Structure formats: structure tokens, C-alpha cells
Chains A and B, each alone.
Chain A
């Protein structure tokens, strides 16, 4: 009987190895180890065996059965995999068929860049302030050391509001700069301060590709005991490097703004040519970016801060201009034009 079992095992293994389809394999399984299969057939003879032989054959038959079952399983798995692979190989799925319309909207580039600017300055401990867009002449000019007759007013053509006049505030204007919020913040919080003010500003100006009546600025200022021009250079380099994702250097040169002394113009190294000079930077290696300076003592005083105890700097740059620079937008009128063909690009 032992020989019978071993012969069966051999025959079965051979059949398994030859099986090429799952159905085929199942037939073999039924034939050899099924309930009515050959193994059962052989084992029918066990009852005729001696008591000494019975356990030996019993053990052997179990081993044979287990071994064959494992073999069947392994083969079945192999055949399944092969079949699946065949099926996958023959698949003719067309990945170029367009998907259903899933249309996310778009956030205006101004909002996107503003958000980034706010995040960078927040991470450096600056608070983000807001102020009114319809502002008084006092906050927009006088309080910032720009009296009515000052030639600097020529630089800022102003929208005036009809029939609004007040003894302290003067006339009412659409703010020409975000700087009035400097004063308002000083009045509210006192020193020390680290603040940025991104916001909408207005100029009474004819519109063309590079001028609009409405644009966005970012004002920033820092007031503490020992704040210097060196810190302005450092903070701005930090900000610009973070914003542009690469090392940016900052150049400072003299400039004039009545609300700062010394007054500064700040340029940054041209991102396109790295300072070698190209069309974008008009072959200077530098891109004009903002006005800045140490806050004028008259402005600190107007904000209720003692210039003998505190000092600091302020800067202002055009957010709209930054957006245009960043995305290569050549016409400012697109920014507030409401054209989805433009906005949907961002």
C-alpha cells in the first residue's frame, strides 16, 4: 500500500505540474484527492492491514494528502496570477479619454501673493493690521509729516470726497497709501511694534498699462529700542528670500519721503540675471522695489510715541507690482478687470 500511495503522489504531482488552467487543476484535484478520488480508493484497503501497519500507513497517507493539498494551493495561486496578468496585459483601457468635468475655482493672484506675504511676516512676529480706505487728510498726509503745501503731495494725486470736512481731520480722501495705518496702530498699541498692513490704495491718475486708480500696497514697520537700518536690510532680505525661494540681496540708496528720515529706496538683486544686468532690471542688476526709511520723529510724535525712547523703520511696496513681476503680467488693468480668462490662469 505504501508503494501505491507513493505512486499516487508521484502521478498527482506530475499532473499538477502539467495543469495549465484553473479548471484543469480542479479536475485533477477531484481525481486524486477528492472525496471519491484515488486516494480515498486506496485508503479503503486500510481496514485489511495489520495493526502494526495501520498507523504507519495512516501517517503516510496524511503526509501525502497534506503535501498534495499544499501543492494544489500553490499551483492554483500561480495559475490565478498568470491568468490575471494575461488579462491585464490584454486590457485596452484608453487613458486619454477625458474625465468628467470637475471644476475647481480660482483664487485671485493678488489674494494668493498677499497671503504668502502675510504668512512670512507673521512668522517673524509681525501683526497684520487693517485701516479704513476712506481716510482723513490728517491720517493720510498731515500726521505723516506732509502738510498741504508740501511738494511731496504732487507725487500722490488724490481722490477727494465731496462735502466732508472736519477741523482735526481736514478733508476726506481715498487713502493714497497704507501709511495712515502706521499712525492708527501707534495710537492704538503704542511701542514696541512689528506690523504689516497690506491693503487697497487709490490714486487720482489716468489709467494705462502701468497705472491704475486702484492698487495694493504693503506697509511694514518696526519700532523698538535699538532698531536700525541694518535690521531693515536684514528683515527685507529674509522676507524676499523666503518669498522668491532663493537668496536675494538688498541694496539701499537715498530716497526722499517726508514721513521718514533718513529716507531710503530699496532695490533687490534681479532674480532673472542674478545681478549681472538684463532687460528686466534695465541692465542695472537691481530691481526697484520699495520706499523705506527710519520713521520721522514727527510721525512717531503724532502716533503718541516718544522718539527719544523708541526708534524704528517703515517701508512700503506695491503688492500689485509684486504680483505683476512674479507672474510676468504686463498690463495692470487685468488685475481689477474681472476677466475670467485672466483669473482662471492662477
Chain B
């Protein structure tokens, strides 16, 4: 919301030399965030009135023209893209150094002399929105009708000598009283120690005459409705002072009556509406819309209404959507002479819901949804009448205000324990200080005891904003000054926190995977879409689906980390021939209960160039087994997964078994899946259920005695059938002597020359060792013989025997 300092000065006698920047900072730390401050005069620096002397086509661009524009004593060549310029036109010219907004959008940019399609342009002819003015029409702002001379500073033309604060709307979500200048002035008076000049009703409302007929059918949705008839008005352009103020705070001047309603809204925070009385049949009825009732709103759009929405209607038709926007059918026009002014209080939830349903957010909605003070309607309608009479001297108030209301005028009194205040702030705030602060904000304070105050909440704060003791604590502490609250540490007993073992172990897992096994950690989104599912051959079931999403890859919550990781693989292959990546993240499975099952998984991918001789499966396997041994202190095993996984190569997939439980899988990616992702590389992946392994006991290493007697390695080379697995052969070796064979390690696999087709050669190194003696040669050769025997039994041929 924009706040004009000049307007504030109508209500607070601020010193003329007050530093606006300091005031802005003070508002920020006491009340609401000032996001920006604009000195309107400054924004017109380096802007002057120019007179276009000649217009020639641009040699290189059809849509551009090259003008010679006089800016007083000097003529500038300026390139222009608008088509409403003419020779002799007076227009705003931004000279180098001026700040403009391109096409009225984005940030202010400093203008520099520049070549436009090869032609030098020493400035810019400006449209209104490019220099912060409201445009009357498209194109360059025509200064026809203004009393101007070429070279005249533009700030002078528009009488811009105001400072405008931009208040962060979010920070006043809870403050209905701050949505107008008067409320802000009240706040500024309190924080600067000034008195607020009260805005009184300076208009005489006749005691008899014509009043609008108003019927409120639903007081829940409309607690108060005030209406007033004014006759003999002339609709015309507003005077400059009114337009300046509106423009300064971001409103587009339209005509005097509409401008006045906007002016009073910007001043008091109370939205108003003016109907052309000639279009209102009989009287006003405030009722719920009928099913599928339609109205065309002031923005020219036809809108279909629902029965939960409140409308303002006459006896034939709806004429406005209550609190949201007026209807075209009763709009003020040039011929309007009699109007009905509406100043009402609507239910904030209802206005908000209607606005959301219609997708129509207006200045009025923004205020009504904050829960406005119902007492404000009367002041606002009188202020409106006052201004109308001021601008249209012939106008006459036709009669008394019709005031329909059903509001409880109950005073809200809260007991404040000032010791509690001091305890919550953590500063020695006294009861006296509390009372002074609250009184400065127009709260009524009655001292009940040394530490208890009875606080009467003023009506403009009592609608929702202030209703519990803590709300008063806030009033006290912000005015006391957060900067005056010292930073201290709480005096609490030392206590070690309850461990989050899963968290700690997650960091441990990352250290192992990244620093131990050379993989890099990736974070992916929690969603994917049909495309990813199809590419991964995953069935579309057990998924949690999003109701609203912004793109087609956000429709499903993931049940596996694999699809997104495969995307990462495809993306990174553009820059790296091979790599290892992993992610630790959640999956979300539909399990037929309200809450889905959220599990944390580790998934990783080992990627090797397509031509690599090595099989990434073995890298992945090695990473998984070594990782799990480090992480859990137990040896994990792989079991061939007969069931398979949709995205895995059907014969290159294994289950991971840790402490007898299946905790994940290792696999080579299905060639079809690789093709679907356009991946031209060898990719093996693994998935480990982290929730499961983190829940297993942490490793506790048990010391085993160092061997006292030396062992001996024997090498065994055997040729076996090609279908035999390493594990099968190893088992045969181990079986030879379970006590003495301590380790069997494969160190070579050979196929090719010197080995028959359909056969392969394995070379193992076997460690023999006894715990209680040095082995004799006889013992060793006995074991070796047994090993040979076992291997021959399965068709093996020992080489070099």
C-alpha cells in the first residue's frame, strides 16, 4: 500500500524538516515494514517538457520514427516507437540520467544516450506509465491542455513535491485500521509523540427528505449498510490536487465522484461505492445471489454468481457484488445527476471467499477481508458527502442517511498483567509504561492494581486484531522498541537433547557415499509425471496425486527416486562421460490410509561410458556392500531377484539382504528404459531403504584377537563351465576346510585363447591359517587336494596342477 507523506501531514503536525528516511525506518521498527520510499520530485529528475519539431521514418525499422525534439534551447534527436506523436506535440522527455520504467514494467532504469537500431537517441519520449503517471491514452503522454513551455521541468508541471512510502501489505494483514492514511497517521502520531488531528464530520445531513430504501436480508454477511442520496451533481474531471493525491498513492483518476470514493477509501480505509440512482429500481436489497445469477462488473466481465455470494440488488437485478466490485448497469456516467452512496460493512470471510471463487481481487476486497470497523461506515459516508459538496457546489444531500445495522456495540475489555508483559518481553517494563503506551494508541486504560490494567480496546482495533492479552503485549513491546530489548540467553538446566538418530546417520551416510565412494549428492523434486512413469515402465498405481500442479512433471508424488535420478543421468551425460550420483530423499506411498507412507530412501547411479569394458553393476554392488558394512557393521549379501523390477534389466538385478532383511536392490537399468531417456551409457543403480537401515542398531565393533600364527596363501586356477557363478565355485573351495580356509578371493576371470569355448578360467587366492599352530606342509597340501577334488567334482579342470 502506498502512503503519501503530504496526506499524513493533514492529520499529524510533523515538522517540515522531518527526514522521511528516518521516519520510514521508525515506521518499520514500530509498526509495519516500509519497503520503499519515493521522492516524487526526484523521480522527475532530468525530465522536461519537449516539443516535437519534426518526425522522420527510421531508416532501419518500420515501427520506429526519428524525431527532432526541442527541450528548451537545445534540440535532441530522439527515436520513438509510439504512433500517436505529431509535429508540434508537447510531451514528457526523459533526458539521459532520468529513471524510467520500460513499458511501465519492472524496475526503474537509468536512461543513457543509446543507439536504437543504429540511430542515436538522446533521450526518450515517455508514455505515462513509463514515468509513473497515469496515462489518459495509449502511447506518448500528450501535454496538450497543460500550461507548458519546452524545457520546463516535468516535476513543476505535475506539482510533485510529495514523498510516498510503500508499506508491505503482508505486514498489515492483521491491521484493518492501517489500510488508509488516517489510520497510518494515528500510528505515526503515536510513534513520533505527536497529536492526531481528529477527522470530524464537517457536513450537515438534513433531518428529513429523501433517503434510499434499503433492505438487508442477511445481516451475517452485511452487519451494517449506510446509504445516502445526493442530487444535482455534475460528473466531470477532478481538480488537479485530488488527481495528484490519487496518482501519488497509485489510483487512476476517472471522474470526480469515483475519484472521491477512492479518495475516502485511501484516507479512511473504508471502501465505498456510488450508484447512479436513475438505474436503481425502487430501493436497495442486500441479499444472497440467486443460483446462476449473472452480473457484468465494472471491468466489463460477465460473472456467474453462486448462492453463497452476497450481492447488492435493486428490485429487479443485482447491481454490485458486495464488497468486491460494482456492476456496469448502475455505473456513474457523464450524465449522472443523482447518486446513492454506499458505505457498508461486509463479512470478511464472505467477501474473501467470493473474491477467491470469482478470481477477482480488488482494493475493496483487500480491505473488507481484514475485518473493518463497522463504526467506520458513518464517518466515511459523511466524509464522502463533504467532498462531493466541495467539488460540486450545486449538489444537495437529499435527506438523512439510511443506516441498517445489526452490530453488537459491546466494549472489548482485556485485563493486562504487566508482570506477564515484562516476562514475555524480557525487559523491565513497568505498569506505568504499559499504560502510557496503550493510551498513546487510543486504548482506554484503567489501573486495577499495581500490576493489573483493564484495557478498553478502541473499535478500530477490536474487530479481530486485538482480542487477547498477548495482542496487548505486542502493542507495548513494539512501542517500547524492540531495539531496547537486550539479547540474553535463557537460564535453563543443561540437558542433552533427545537424539534424532536417523538424522545423524543420514549425515554419516552422506560422508560415506561422497567421501568414501566418490559419489556426488543430488536433490530432486518430490514429484514426477506420467512421462517419467512411462519411461521407467512403472505402473501408475500406489501413487499420491496432486490436485493442482503447474506442469506435467508435477502430477504424482514419487514412490521411487529412480525416475528423477535417470533424468539427472541423461542431463549430466552432456558434460561428463561417467560419474556416480546419489540422492537421499523421501518416497510417498498410498497405503489406503489417510496419511501416505513416507519412507526415506538412498538411491544411486553409477554411469560408465558406453564403450567401457567394466560393468557398472559391479561398481554399484561394491559400493552398496562396502557402504552397508561401514554403515551397519554387518556384511550384506546380494540375492538374485527373480521377481525383478520394471526399470531393471531382467537378469541383472539383485536384492540386498542385510541381517536377514531385504533392504533394497542393485540392478543394471533396463535397456528399454535407457533408450526412453536417450541415455547412451552403461548405467547401474541401487536403492536402499534408509528408514529401515537407519533403524537397525548402529555398528558396535567387537574386537577379535590378532592371529598368532602365520598363514599361507595358495593360488588356484580352475577352468569351469561358463554358466558357473563365482559364488558357486567359491562355495566349493570353502567347503574343503571350513576351519583352515580363512579367505577366498577371486583375482582373475579369463575367457578366450587357451580356454575352450563355453568355459572360463577363475583364479583364486586362498588363505589358510590355524589359530593355534603353524600349519605343516602336509596339512596344507591335504587342504589343497581337497579343494581340487571339490572343484573337479563340479566339472572343473585345475590348471597347472
Contacts and interface: CB of A to CB of B under 8 A. Distances in A.
A230 B486 contact: yes
Contact of A108 (B369, B426, B487, B521): B521
Assign chain B's interface to a size class: 35 or more
Given A133-B586, A256-B172, A229 B526 contact: no
A251 to B, nearest CB: 7
A132 B594 contact: no
A326 interface: no
Interface in A128-184: 128-130, 132-134, 136, 149, 151-152, 155, 159-164, 166, 169, 172, 174
A237 B544 CA distance: 41
B744 to A, nearest CB: 29
A343 B545 CA distance: 30
A159 B549 contact: yes
Interface in B215-260: none
A339 B572 contact: yes
B212 to A, nearest CB: 30
A296 to B, nearest CB: 7
A261 B471 contact: yes
Contacts, number: 238
B490 A261 contact: no
Contact of B490 (A160, A222, A237): A222
B525 interface: yes
B273 interface: no
A340 B579 contact: yes
Contact of B515 (A104, A149, A166): A104
A11 to B, nearest CB: 54
A341 B549 contact: no
Interface string A240-274: 00000000011111111010011111000000000
Contacts of A229: 424-426, 477, 482, 485
Given A111-B510, A224-B490, 8 more contacts: A125-B494, A159-B546, A214-B526, A228-B424, A229-B425, A261-B470, A262-B474, A340-B572
A174 B558 CA distance: 13
Contacts of B496: 125
A206 B550 contact: yes
A254 B30 contact: yes
A45 B519 CA distance: 82
A235 B31 CA distance: 24
Contacts of A255: 33, 171
A344 interface: yes
Contacts of B369: 151
Contacts of A237: 487
Contacts of A162: 544-547
A-B pairs, 3 with minimum CB distance: A230-B426, A228-B426, A262-B474
A231 B489 contact: yes
A126 B369 CA distance: 39
10 contacts: A105-B515, A105-B518, A122-B497, A136-B594, A149-B353, A152-B173, A224-B490, A256-B170, A256-B171, A336-B523
B487 A107 contact: no
A169 B489 contact: no
B448 interface: no
A189 B500 CA distance: 14
A235 B173 contact: no
A311 interface: yes
B713 to A, nearest CB: 27
Contacts of A169: 594
Contacts of B29: 251, 253-254
A152 B352 CA distance: 11
B409 interface: no
Given A213-B554, A228-B423, A341 B575 contact: yes
Contacts of A207: 550
A253 B33 contact: yes
Interface in B554-592: 554, 557, 564, 567-568, 571-572, 575-576, 579-581, 586, 588
Given A151-B369, A263-B474, A265-B171, A294 B424 contact: yes
B348 interface: yes
B754 interface: no
Contacts of A249: 487
Given A130-B502, A194-B497, A238-B489, A160 B547 contact: yes
A227 interface: yes
Interface string B489-526: 11010111111101100010011011101111111111
B371 to A, nearest CB: 9
A202 interface: yes
A104 B423 contact: no
A343 B483 CA distance: 40
B518 A104 contact: yes
Interface string B27-61: 01111110000000000000000000000000000
Interface in A286-322: 294, 296-297, 311
Nearest to B523: A336
Contacts of A108: 520-523
A205 B29 CA distance: 30
Interface string B172-214: 1111000000000000000000000000000000000000000
Nearest to B588: A134
B473 interface: yes
A55 interface: no
Given A128-B500, A214-B526, A261-B468, A230 B521 contact: no
A234 B487 contact: yes
A254 B478 contact: yes
A151 B526 CA distance: 28
A177 B30 CA distance: 27
Interface string B399-434: 000000000000000000000000111110000000
Given A133-B598, A134-B595, A256 B174 contact: yes
Interface string B465-477: 0001011011001
B600 to A, nearest CB: 9
B523 A105 contact: no
Which residue among B33, B353, B564 has the maximum number of chain A CB atoms within 10 Å of its CB?
A: B33
Contact of A127 (B498, B507, B564, B567): B498
A153 to B, nearest CB: 9
B487 A250 contact: yes
Contact of A231 (B488, B513, B549): B488
A75 interface: no
Nearest to B30: A254
Contacts of A104: 514-515, 518
A181 to B, nearest CB: 12
A115 interface: yes
A311 B595 contact: no
Contacts of A125: 492, 494-497
A107 B547 contact: no
B503 A118 contact: yes
Interface in B529-551: 544-550
Given A125-B495, A229-B482, A253-B482, A164 B470 contact: no
Contacts of B544: 134, 161-162, 164
A339 to B, nearest CB: 7
B682 interface: no
A338 interface: yes
A47 interface: no
A311 B423 contact: yes
Contacts of B383: none
Given A106-B514, A111-B507, A133-B586, A262 B477 contact: yes
A169 B348 CA distance: 24
A329 interface: no
A122 B581 CA distance: 29
A161 B490 contact: no
Interface in B266-303: none
B349 interface: yes
Given A105-B580, A134-B598, A252 B485 contact: yes
Interface string A45-61: 00000000000000000
B581 A340 contact: yes
B612 to A, nearest CB: 14
